[in-house]
Chains A and B, each alone.
Chain A
């Protein structure tokens, strides 16, 4: 990327004599490059860069769809400090990320290791596990809403035989977050399994050979070869989990609308509701800024970790 394009064939090109005020051949050609980049840059300017800058600006105003904006300084941010919904959404989002993705990583890694052997029908298993990944969240949520019905599959097929009394999964403050986590684990495991599988397949098999010759046991191989060599994959997996998990919206929106009693209110859902249901644009903008910085900080930390090691 840093190399100045040396253009191996440049010498063979017709050497146009350069006159003052006109563009050289190379400059003209590079102008095409700028032209090629332009459409995408216009899209970014209008639909990403302007909106995010505008969000920062609007976070200093009080406004709704009907009233004209009024400058309030940092009031919106001060307001967040004691705001129970904001607090709940912040906690719920992080809880969602950890309680969903840690099981997802563990299950996905186990499945990937199982499929990284010489068993048959690996492709079939991989395809089956991947099916939920390609399903629409809305469709998935519709199915799981039925599963979590008081008389649904979860209670009758799993809890009943164990003698556990049926739960009101989606209307009980204690169980609604878990219900969504269970659904998300089911949906996401296939994706991470494939990512882990790609990482595992990149580990040279002679390393395992050598370890076996040295008489290492399964755990030693796992802890000293698999995990260290999987580090780039693990890093990617943690970044993508944090970034997508903290932005989660659809499962909570479809399953519970953030309820019961804000138990499943996550940040994106809170921003959406604050802005477009409660019409408090300034507060929603302030929340957006906070979300932006949280995700930005996490991304930078991950990049920094990636750069300092290897």
Chain B
């Protein structure tokens, strides 16, 4: 820190656009100084991917082969039947459908409630608006575990235990979603809305035909965020989906694990099948995904 300057070492490749160069277009040759960087990044990438390779490899092994020493990454004989067995013998397909139904329903419900509320908070003025918005933000810091007992009692009193209703409705809105939509909708010019009003458009019509189309970015981010968040939810479904009928995929995987946990090839096959849909969607939409899942940081 207080040392004398060390020009040789300070030739950091980190910001290596030479000051005299006109623009960024000049880098074409491979920078050997980056070699160590690549090595480190690739090594870390291997560490990240290794568990997945291990999962896939185990999913294709016979039970006897799982713990062979030294580790066999490629099984002697690929046991594809682990996958078909996992699908046919245990109702993974059924749990998967439940998860899709619940996550899709929750996502649409959130898109509706959050966009409406975001608009209501952004573009109108009425008594209690700021107070209500404050309450919405305050609910963000309530831990789920802190309200789970009464929440369960509420849902039980509605007769929603072990039903789609119980899984979907309590997750029907999100403070973060409202915050996000309000941010986006505040940016819509008032002139645009007023012009529509002068043309005689009703308020719901303005919302549907002007406000929503102007909020597409936030809506798609919110959709991904809510879907992922719900897809992974465990604590609440664990309480509400008491029987097999409404069990979601994470619970199904967990149940399989507690019942047949030592059958590692099949457990890994189940885990793999549970992972693939999300992985595929992520790889296709990865840019939107990363933005959606980290967008909280923009307005932390």
Across the interface, which residues of A come within 8 angstroms of B274, CB to CB?
136, 138-139
For the A-B complex with A41-B136, A43-B169 known, give 4 more contacts whose Cβ atoms are closer than 8 Å.
Answer: A55-B149, A217-B10, A250-B235, A276-B239
In the assembled complex, which residues on chain B have CB atoms less than 8 Å from the CB atom of A15? Answer: none
B135 interface residue (CB < 8 Å to A): yes
B253 near A138 with CB under 8 A, answer yes
* B89, CB-defined interface residue at 8 Å: no
| CB pair B145 A291 closer than 8 Å | yes
| Stretch of B80-88, B215-223, B278-286 on the interface side | B278-286
A236's closest neighbor in chain B, by CB?
Answer: B300
Task: State how many angstroms separate the Cβ of A284 from the closest Cβ of chain B.
Answer: 6
What would 8 A/B residue contacts be, using CB atoms closer than 8 Å?
A9-B190, A43-B173, A135-B275, A135-B278, A191-B293, A267-B145, A276-B152, A285-B149
Assembly CA distance A135 to B249 (angstroms): 12
Chain B contact residues, majority secondary structure: helix
- Given the known inter-chain contacts A128-B45, A281-B149, please indicate yes or no for A146 contacting B268, CB distance below 8 A: yes
* Contact residue among A39, A125, A218 (Cβ-Cβ distance under 8 Å from B113): A39
Residues of A with Cβ closer than 8 Å to B? 1, 4-5, 7-10, 12-13, 29-41, 43-44, 46-52, 54-55, 58, 111, 113-119, 125-140, 142-147, 149, 151-153, 156-157, 186, 190-191, 194-195, 198-199, 205, 208-209, 212-213, 215-221, 223, 232-233, 235-237, 239-240, 243, 246-247, 249-250, 253-254, 267-268, 271-272, 275-276, 281, 284-285, 288-289, 291-292, 295-296, 299
CB <8 Å contact, A52 and B146: yes
Give the docked Cα–Cα distance between A199 and B132 (Å): 31
The interface of chain B, by Cβ under 8 A from chain A, is 1, 3, 5-7, 9-10, 12-17, 19, 27, 31, 34, 37-38, 40-41, 44-45, 47-52, 54-55, 58, 66-67, 69-71, 112-114, 116-117, 119-121, 123-126, 129-130, 132, 135-136, 139, 141-154, 169-170, 172-173, 175, 178, 190-191, 194-195, 197-198, 203-204, 207, 228, 231-232, 234-235, 238-239, 249-251, 253-254, 257, 261, 264, 267-268, 270-271, 274-275, 278-279, 282-283, 286, 289-290, 293-294, 296-298, 300
